[in-house]
Structure 1
Amino acid sequence: MRIGELARRAGTTVKAVRYYESLGLIAPARLANGYRDCTGDDVRLVREIRSLHGLGIPVERTRPFLECLAAGSAHADDCPASLASYREAIDELGERIEALTARRATLITQLNAAAHRGSGAGAAEASGSRAEDYLTLPAGLPAPEADGAAEHLPGTRMPGLALPGTAGRAVRLDRLGPRRAVIYVYPLTGRPGTDLPEGWSSIPGARGCTAEACGFRDHFRDLLEAGAGRVFGLSSQDAGYQSEVVERLGLPFAMLSDPAFDLAEALGLPTFEAGGTRLYKRLTMIVRDGVIEHVFHPVFPPDQHAEQVLIWLRENPPAEPAVRGGAGAPPSRRKPGGGTAPAAPMVPA
């Protein structure tokens, strides 16, 4: 079979086939006159390259799949190296989605600011007539006690849970990648026109979720520069509610929803009840390569917590390699002082 026939059967161009050959992905035999003698196996390889490229895998990185076929596997993704390539491509797509989500949130913020500039609605918002209820923390908020409810978490491997996110896809908590992921867990985010549970401000550690979210928003780029690969907020509120919060506050990161408290059950995370509703207690996990590296609990004051996380990231650059041993990892492979963060001193908002 000549190269033109190969290209026709594989649904591509002769130029593409020559490019694949130049990369060593296919190696058609040569006849005595120098012409290529392509076979059905070459057609299959080219079709596989095109199919993987259509899924977003660069042509140059289809080699593990082709080697899997060459080894005699029935499918190109039967081999461990192929599965690793899938995961790598998924992680990269996730990062691109989050970058696009951040760009979209910034555009929404700028659109809202431009649309309300000089209007009565914009002036009222600027004065903080309603937003102030959520963004400004009253003085004298009761600080949560250090109850030790998260001391067991450092060194623990994240469960294989997939939680719905506001970026439009589920997020696997055990596949957040080798870079550090910041997951801040909070009770609930209030919004205008929605009543908070009775006595909310009197519950230690309850008030301040919106202010905390805005803190992570404002420090988002700093967190990435300090080594965080991803940032997530997580609560038991449904994804629809959280999507409204992401748009209204202009959050450049995704929020995760866990209304069934699956993560709480898997990791033993602390919860409490308010107004007859079960809610998460506030804490933050630093996750690296599927393992909880560090935990902040209790968190106070919440409006300054993003800065606390930023300082920790800067002062604790990741050691190589990442911890992989799970809860039973030897202490020598954990970062010194990697337990729960002590309570920050109470600072009135």
Structure 2
Amino acid sequence: MRVGELMAATGATVRALRYYEAAGLVVPGREPNGYRVYEPVAVRQVERIRALTGLGLSVEQTRPFVECLAGGGDEADECPAALAGYRRAIVDLDERIARLTEQRDGLRASLVKATARMATHRGIGRESLRRTDPATLRGEPMPGSVLAATDGRRPRLDRLGDGRTIVFVYPMTGRPDGDMPDGWDTIPGARGCTAEACDFRDRLGELREAGVARVFGLSAQSRAYQREVVHRLRLPYAMLADPRLTVADALGLPTFEAGGMTLYQRLTLVVAGGLIEHVFHPIGEPARHVTQVLEWLAGRTGNVSARPGSRG
């Protein structure tokens, strides 16, 4: 059979067949015109190579199986050399698993140490991050923290500008290609970050009509991570990255631990004139939280100005 027929029968590419030929595994004959021609056994040889490499063997490790078929064997693995090939591949795989397990455990240990070191450098322990009841923050000034925003700005939180600002604080958003921390769905208040972000997106016009000058999302995730979320969800507002939990330190905002990370509990701050005007916490239904905010805003009238010396 010709190259095209072998490709159609096995699904292999020309490049793969040339590689098998160069390795001396599936070697065709030549017709007088120079065209390659394969024996019928080549179909079974190529199929076996593809099956074994799919199990993690290298092309070279398939040699005893291919040679078994070339020698007239009914099955590729009925020869002693093929059985020995299975055993060697299993030993190699066990060694790789052991190395990867050791690397994973080392990374986990490093993460735990780094998390503890960061808490020590901040001068506070995990329990102190939970010490403040968010309801007691009403009337308190926003900290002078400067955070990186996904739109390239670095706003200072006590100088956000005239009018009311909504800062919804959330734990973390996931990605379609990534997993959330183990047990995420069982953590009270953890789920719903994407739904909440989309609700603020879809009802931003209503918030502006109710007197909100700007909206920010805030989490402990990096700006690069947040920028992907802003792009994927087409969010018309910026996210603020606080991976060092500087706002939690300054205000004593509640946090929790998941997957070796310290994350914010979900809450929303209404900021006006550099002061915290209202706090929503806890938030039971993230996907409908904007309705809660709008209902609260409906009971407030008049313009809100920034305190003297503030700037946007």
Quickly name the TM-score band, shorter chain normalised: 0.5 to 0.7
Contact 1:155 / 1:323 at 8 angstroms: preserved in 2?
A: no
Amino acid at match of 2:186: S
Q: Which of 117, 133, 140 is residue 149 of structure 1 equivalent to?
A: 133
Q: Distance in 2 between matches of 1:279 and 1:161?
A: 18
CA separation of 1:323/1:274 partners in 2, compared to 1, >3 Å: closer, same or farther? same
1:288 aligns with 2:272: yes
Residue correspondence of structure 1 range 20-31 to structure 2 within 5 A: none
Q: Could you tell me which runs of 5 or more consecutive residues in structure 2 were left unpaired when the two chains were aligned.
A: 1-130
Query: CA shift at 1:178, angstroms?
Result: 2.5
Give the match's secondary structure for 1:156. Answer: coil
Q: Which of 163, 167, 170 is residue 186 of structure 1 equivalent to?
A: 170
Across the aligned residues of Structure 1 and Structure 2, the Cα RMSD in angstroms comes to: 1.8
Contact 1:283 / 1:299 at 8 angstroms: preserved in 2?
A: yes
1:266 aligns with 2:250: yes
Contact 1:215 / 1:307 at 8 angstroms: preserved in 2?
A: no
Amino acid at match of 2:204: F
Give the match's secondary structure for 1:214. Answer: helix
Structure 2 counterpart of 1:305: 289
Query: CA shift at 1:154, angstroms?
Result: 0.4
What fraction of aligned residue pairs are identical, expressed as a percent? 57
Structure 2 counterpart of 1:250: 234
Structure 2 counterpart of 1:222: 206
Larger radius of gyration: 2
CA separation of 1:244/1:198 partners in 2, compared to 1, >3 Å: closer, same or farther? same
Q: Distance in 2 between matches of 1:320 and 1:288?
A: 7
CA separation of 1:318/1:156 partners in 2, compared to 1, >3 Å: closer, same or farther? farther
Q: Distance in 1 between matches of 2:244 and 2:238?
A: 19
Q: Distance in 2 between matches of 1:224 and 1:321?
A: 15
Query: CA shift at 1:319, angstroms?
Result: 6.7
CA separation of 1:148/1:169 partners in 2, compared to 1, >3 Å: closer, same or farther? closer
Q: Distance in 1 between matches of 2:303 and 2:241?
A: 31
Query: CA shift at 1:228, angstroms?
Result: 0.3
Query: CA shift at 1:317, angstroms?
Result: 2.3
Q: Distance in 1 between matches of 2:293 and 2:303?
A: 17
Q: Distance in 2 between matches of 1:323 and 1:211?
A: 33
Q: Distance in 2 between matches of 1:173 and 1:150?
A: 17
Q: Distance in 1 between matches of 2:286 and 2:263?
A: 16
Task: Give the TM-score of the pair, scaled to structure 2.
Answer: 0.55
Amino acid at match of 1:176: L
Q: Distance in 1 between matches of 2:305 and 2:146?
A: 26
Task: Give the TM-score of the pair, scaled to structure 1.
Answer: 0.49
Query: CA shift at 1:285, angstroms?
Result: 0.3
Structure 2 counterpart of 1:8: none
Query: CA shift at 1:315, angstroms?
Result: 2.1
Amino acid at match of 1:203: I
1:45-67: CA deviation from partner (whole Å, max 9, x where unpaired): xxxxxxxxxxxxxxxxxxxxxxx
Give the match's secondary structure for 2:167. Answer: strand
Query: CA shift at 1:151, angstroms?
Result: 1.8
Structure 2 counterpart of 1:198: 182
1:101-154: CA deviation from partner (whole Å, max 9, x where unpaired): xxxxxxxxxxxxxxxxxxxxxxxxxxxxxxxxxxxxxxxxxxxxxx97202210
1:174 aligns with 2:174: no
Amino acid at match of 1:300: G
Amino acid at match of 2:263: L
Amino acid at match of 2:224: G
Q: Distance in 2 between matches of 1:216 and 1:279?
A: 21
Q: Distance in 2 between matches of 1:246 and 1:236?
A: 15
Please list every run of at least 4 consecutive aligned residues from structure 1 whose deviation after the TM superposition is greater than 3 angstroms: 318-324
Q: Could you tell me which runs of 5 or more consecutive residues in structure 1 were left unpaired when the two chains were aligned.
A: 1-146, 325-349
Query: CA shift at 1:222, angstroms?
Result: 0.7
Q: Distance in 2 between matches of 1:317 and 1:251?
A: 28
Query: CA shift at 1:310, angstroms?
Result: 1.6
Give the match's secondary structure for 1:170. Answer: coil
Q: Distance in 1 between matches of 2:206 and 2:299?
A: 13
Amino acid at match of 1:183: V
Amino acid at match of 2:156: R
Structure 2 counterpart of 1:232: 216
Contact 1:272 / 1:279 at 8 angstroms: preserved in 2?
A: yes
Give the match's secondary structure for 2:174. Answer: coil
